[in-house]
Amino acid sequence: MKQRPSFPAKLAPSAVKAVPVAPKPSGTPTLSALARPQGLGMDSVAVRMRMVELLRKQGVSDEAVLGAMGTVERHRFVDSALVNQAYEDTSLPIGLGQTISKPGVVARMLELLRNGASAPLGRVLEIGTGCGYQAAVLSKIAHEVYSVERLRGLHDKARENLRNLRVHNLHLLFGDGMLGYAKGAPYAGIIAAAGGEALPQQWIDQLAMGGRLVAPVAGQGPRGTGQCLLVLDKTPQGLRQVLLEAVHFVPLKSGLA
């Protein structure tokens, strides 16, 4: 039997094929250009639809992702003082030094994770629940979602945010996501919302054959700086990985707090 090439725990730059990122069309409107919704009583459907249209103009074309982002009420996942900015393409503080990712980045990563699939994904693991927003979007495009958070305060906050949404296929877990979550493995998809120096071996082990992992990774720039998006596919021929555009995620940390 042909042996699968082993995967370096630390990504050696030479092991990674950089591919050019398609430039964004000039004149692309930004979500910040959106009129701000007026307080909590806003017509959030209309403003979300405008967010979706702008995501489309920014190059997101996966209808399943756009549909999910059009459904999940992002303003329910941010502090009341920030509700007016909930549909702008910006990351926002969610407490304990963490942030909710920009809608544009969430859409981009979910589109990469789905990889044009014609059906919903099977089981998916998310590392970094944060406020629970991306987990809620994931629950619309996957059969089963496991989401791990290492900060008790945010795990509890996500539980609170999701309480009334009755998302039956989403499991929130308090734990160290660097270990993955073996009980739910193997996963059709793994997505990380925090970036580390290296990909934990457990993530790769817990990925199903044919599965895809999307995560920010650090240390590819000069003197180990910078962070960019990594897409890794587990194929019968071995692991295939591609580095994409620069991103800015909070650090992946080990242990619980």
Catalytic residues: 101
- Give me the 14-53 binding string for ligand SAH, x by CB under 6 A, dash otherwise: ----------------------------------------
Q: Which of 52, 107, 151, 213 binds ligand SAH (CB under 6 A)?
A: 151
Q: What angle do CA 163, 169, 172 make, to 5 degrees?
A: 55
The least distance separating ligand SAH from the CB of residue 20, rounded to whole angstroms, comes to 27
E-only strand ranges, the chain: 17-18, 92-95, 98-100, 121-127, 142-149, 170-174, 187-192, 194-195, 207-218, 227-235, 238-246, 250-251
* Choices 1-9, 129-137, 164-172, 205-213 (CB under 6 A): range interacting with ligand SAH: 129-137
DSSP 196: B
CA-derived radius of gyration, the chain: 18
Q: Is 149 in the site for ligand SAH (CB under 6 A)?
A: yes
User: Strand 187-192 vs strand 194-195: parallel, antiparallel, or unpaired?
Assistant: unpaired
Binding mask 186-205 for ligand SAH (x = CB under 6 A): -------xx-----------
Q: Applying CB under 6 A, which of residues 31, 154, 185, 244 lies at the interface with ligand SAH?
A: 154
The dihedrals phi and psi of 73, each to the nearest 5 degrees, come to: -85, 95
Q: Which is nearer to ligand SAH, 151 or 204 (CB)?
A: 151
Closer residue to ligand SAH in complex, CB, 86/154: 154
- The secondary structure element, H or E, covering residue 94 is strand 92-95
**Burial letters for 6-31: b for 16+ Cβ neighbours within 10 Å, e otherwise?**
ebeeebeeeebeeeeeeeeeeeeeeb
Does residue 173 bind ligand SAH (CB under 6 A)?
A: no
Stretch that binds ligand SAH, among 4-12, 61-69, 81-89, 149-157 (CB under 6 A): 149-157
Evaluate whether 71 touches 44 at the Cβ level (below 8 Å): no
Q: Per rule CB under 6 A, is residue 100 in the interface with ligand SAH?
A: yes
Using CB under 6 A, pick the residue from 78, 125, 127, 207 that binds ligand SAH.
127
Q: In the complex, what is the shortest distance from the CB of residue 194 to ligand SAH, in angstroms, rounded to a whole number?
A: 4
Residue 186, preceding peptide bond in cis (omega within 30° of 0): yes
Site membership for ligand SAH, residue 71 (CB under 6 A): no
Tokens of 185: 């493995």
- Does position 64 interact with ligand SAH (CB under 6 A)? The reply is no
Q: State the Cα–Cα distance between residues 118 and 100, nearest whole angstrom.
A: 28
Residues of this chain that bind ligand SAH (CB under 6 A): 94, 98-101, 127-128, 130-131, 133-134, 148-151, 154, 176-178, 193-194, 250, 252-254
